[in-house]
Structure 1
C-alpha cells in the first residue's frame, strides 16, 4: 500500500510538471527543424493552438495529415492537443505515429515520455509501472541522442529525483544529470537545486540559494516564474512580488507568454490574500482572463474562483454570483483539488 501511495504521488507530481511545461512551451518548440516545418506567425493551426482554440487547431492539423511534408508536425500537435484535453489514448496513438517518421527530434521524444507519464497516472499500479519505464526510456533516449538539449536533460533528471526507486527513480542518476545540467545551463540547474534542497529538508540552504538567484538577471522566464513560486509557497510574498512584477512587464513571446500572463494572476492572488489592494487585484486578474481564457489551462478554474472572491471582497456580490454560476456550468469536477476547494469555499461564503 505504501508503494502504491508513493507511486501515485509521483505520478501526480510528474503530471503537474508535464502539464505546466507543455502548456507553457511555445508552439514552435515542438516543430523540428526539418523540411516543411510550420511557422507560428503565418499558420492558422498554430495560431489557434497558442490561443487555446483546440477544436479549431485539431481540425486544421487533421486536414494537414494528407500533406506528407506536414504529417509529422501535425501528428505532434494532435498528440499535444489530445494530452492537454485529457484524451490520453489518442495522444499515445498520435505520438507513436509521429515517432515512426524519421527523423525524430528531442522535443518529440520528450513529449512521448510526458505522455506515458500522464498515462501512468490514469492506470492501475501494475500497468503504471510499465508505463513509467516507457516514460524514462524516452527521456533517456532524448538525452542520449541530444546530449545538449536542456529540456530532455531536465525531464530525465526530474524523473530520477522524483520517482520512487521501485518505479525507476535513482538519486545517483539524478545527481549525474544535475552535474551535466550545471555545465550546460547553471540557471536551470540552480533553480531545480532550490526545490531539491527544500525537498531534502534543507530549507535554510534553499532560501540562501534562492536569495542569491533572485539578485541575478534571468535568461529564462520559466526559471524566474519558478523562483517566484518558491517564494510564494514559502509565504515570502515580499520576495515573490518583485519577480512576478518584473516578469509581467517583459515583452510576451511564444516562448515566455504563459509565464508572463500567469504572473498577472499570481500578483492578483497575492494582493487578494494580503488584502492590500483589492481593486488592483481585480484589475490584474481581469487582465489575465483577457489574455489567457483557455479552458484547458491548469489555472483556468482557479483564476475564475480567485476573481470571484476578489469581487466578493470588494463588495460586488452580483459579480461574485455571476462567476460562481459560470464555473458551475462548466466541467470543473475533472480537477478534484479545485472541486474540493471551490465547493468548500461556496459553503463558507
Structure 2
C-alpha cells in the first residue's frame, strides 16, 4: 500500500511539473506572438494541439492566410474551453471575417459571430475590448443577421462607464455608422482638442479626412498623431498606425512623398509585427509605391517581386493592380 501511495504521489508531482513547464512554454510563445515573432510562437503552439490557449493563438496567426483553418482552430479552442472569454471573442472575429467573405453561408457565420461576441461579454462584462467587438457587430451587420443600432448604443453607454476614452471612440463609431455627420464632426473635433496630448484622436480624425479625400488635412493629422507620446499600448497602436497612414496618404495624394517614405521606414523599424496593425509586408509595399513615385523603379520592383508570393490575397491583388498601372503608363 505504501509503495502504491508513493507511486501515486510521484505521478501527481510529475503531472504538476509537466503542466507548469507547458504553461511556462506557452507564456514564452505568447510573448513571442506579441513581439511579432510568429514563426517561433507557431512552433510552440503547434506542440500543444489540445491546449485552448495554443489553439486560440494559432487561429490568430493563420487568420490572414486561411480563414477556414482559423475557424477550425478557434472552434476547437472553444469546444475545449467554452467559458474562455478571449477565445469566444477571437471566434467572433473569425466568424465575422468568414461572413464578410462568404455568399451562401454569410448569415450562418454572422449568427455564430454574434453568439461568440455576446458570450465573451457575458463572461467578462468589464472587458472593454469585448464590448467593442459586440458593438462593432451590431453596427456593421444587417438587421437580418443581428445588426441593431439600439443595442449598439447600449454598448456605447456601457463602454463609456468603463473607460471614458474608449467611450468617446465608441460614440464616434456609432455616430458615423448612424450617418449623423454633423454631430460626428463636432464630437471628433472636440475629442482631438480634449485629448491633444495622445495620438488616438488625431489618428481617427486623419482616417476621416482621408476617407473624404482631404489628403493635406489627413497628412497633417497623421503627422501630429505620430508625434504624440503614447501613454499605453492602445495609444501606441494609434501612434504606429498614424505613421503607416502618413505613408499611405502620400501614396494616395502623390504629395509629401519624402515624409511618407521616412514614416514607413520608421514604422518598419518600430513595429514588432503585431497582428492588429498593418503587416510588415503591407508596409514594405507602401515603401515600394513611394520608391516608384520618387523614380526609384529598381528598388520598387525588388520589393514587389519579393512580395508577389505573399499568402495575403489582398496584398497580392494590390501588387498586381500596381503592376497593371505601371504597364499602362
TM bucket normalised to smaller: 0.7 to 0.9
1:176 lines up with 2:154 in the alignment:
yes
Q: Provide the C-alpha distance between the structure 2 equivalents of 1:168 and 1:77, rounded to a whole number of angstroms.
A: 27
Deviations 1:181-221 (A, max 9, x none): 23223322322332433343332221111110001237986
* TM-score between the two structures when normalised by the length of structure 2: 0.76
Of the structure 1 ranges 170-179 and 214-223, higher mean CA displacement relative to structure 2 is found in: 214-223
1:59 lines up with 2:43 in the alignment:
yes
Do the aligned partners of residues 226 and 96 (structure 1) sit closer, same or farther apart at CA in structure 2, a change above 3 Å counting?
A: same
Alignment counterpart, residue 217 of structure 1, candidates 195, 202, 215: 195
Structure 1 alignment gaps of length 5 or more: 1-34
Q: Which has the higher contact order (CA 8 A, sep 6+)?
A: 1
Tell me, yes or no, if the aligned pair for 1:142 and 1:152 is still in contact at 8 Å: yes
Structure 2 alignment gaps of length 5 or more: 1-18
Tell me, yes or no, if the aligned pair for 2:248 and 2:286 is still in contact at 8 Å: yes
- Deviation (angstroms), 1:51: 4.4
- Deviation (angstroms), 1:289: 2.8
- Residue 142 of structure 2 corresponds to 164
- Residue 316 of structure 1 corresponds to 296
Q: How does 1:1-349 map to 2 (within 5 A)?
A: 44-65=28-49, 71-86=51-66, 88-102=67-81, 104-125=83-104, 127-217=105-195, 225-234=203-212, 235=214, 237-238=216-217, 241-242=220-221, 244-247=223-226, 250=229, 257-271=236-250, 277-292=256-271, 298-331=278-311, 333-335=313-315, 338-339=318-319, 341-349=321-329
Do the aligned partners of residues 232 and 42 (structure 1) sit closer, same or farther apart at CA in structure 2, a change above 3 Å counting?
A: same
SS in 1 for 2:74: helix
Do the aligned partners of residues 280 and 300 (structure 1) sit closer, same or farther apart at CA in structure 2, a change above 3 Å counting?
A: same
Deviations 1:232-279 (A, max 9, x none): 323264366345444455369765554433322222333455555433
Q: Provide the C-alpha distance between the structure 1 equivalents of 2:121 and 2:106, rounded to a whole number of angstroms.
A: 23
Q: Provide the C-alpha distance between the structure 1 equivalents of 2:197 and 2:69, rounded to a whole number of angstroms.
A: 35
Tell me, yes or no, if the aligned pair for 1:110 and 1:142 is still in contact at 8 Å: yes
Tell me, yes or no, if the aligned pair for 1:312 and 1:320 is still in contact at 8 Å: yes
Aligned length: 309
- Residue 9 of structure 1 corresponds to none
- Deviation (angstroms), 1:161: 1.7
- Deviation (angstroms), 1:169: 1.1
Q: Provide the C-alpha distance between the structure 1 equivalents of 2:102 and 2:251, rounded to a whole number of angstroms.
A: 38
Q: Provide the C-alpha distance between the structure 2 equivalents of 1:182 and 1:244, rounded to a whole number of angstroms.
A: 28
Q: Provide the C-alpha distance between the structure 2 equivalents of 1:60 and 1:41, rounded to a whole number of angstroms.
A: 7
SS in 2 for 1:215: helix
Tell me, yes or no, if the aligned pair for 2:223 and 2:242 is still in contact at 8 Å: yes
Q: RMSD across aligned C-alpha pairs, in angstroms?
A: 3.7
Point out the structure with max Rg over C-alpha. 2
